[in-house]
Amino acid sequence: MPILSCDPAYSQLLDTNQELRSELQDEISINKTHKNSEIEELKSEISNLRKQHRVLQQDKKFKNEVGSLKARIWILIDKKISIDALDMAMTNLIANINRGLD
């Protein structure tokens, strides 16, 4: 059986095969680079989303605290109005008693 290495078609086939393997390795390398770059971008995006989530949680906490403080203020205002009304009632009662004593 003769060796085909001297055949120009076989030699061309080997060259083409070698070129394709080289191109494939280049593509693999490019894909790895893009993949690593994409992974880093995703990590950065995840980090940013976590920061935003923390800020939103703090905002929600602050809103809840503001709502709670508003409710407490209204309770205190209502109590003050009640005390003021009670003071007025006592003043009127004392005035009426004083008039009755006169």
Tens-binned pLDDT, residue by residue, of the chain (102 aa) = 445 557 888 989 999 999 999 999 999 999 999 999 999 999 999 999 999 999 999 999 999 998 888 888 888 877 776 777 767 767 776 777 777 666
The CA distances from residue 80 to 69, 85, 87, in Å, are: 16, 8, 10
- In this predicted structure, what is the pLDDT of residue 55? 97
- In this predicted structure, what is the pLDDT of residue 24? 96
pTM over the 0.85 mark: no
Tell me how many helices (H) and strands (E) the chain has. Answer: 1, 0
- In this predicted structure, what is the pLDDT of residue 92? 73
- In this predicted structure, what is the pLDDT of residue 84? 72
> What SS3 state is found at 9?
helix
- In this predicted structure, what is the pLDDT of residue 1? 43
Task: Dump the DSSP string for 7-53.
Answer: -HHHHHHHHHHHHHHHHHHHHHHHHHHHHHHHHHHHHHHHHHHHHHH
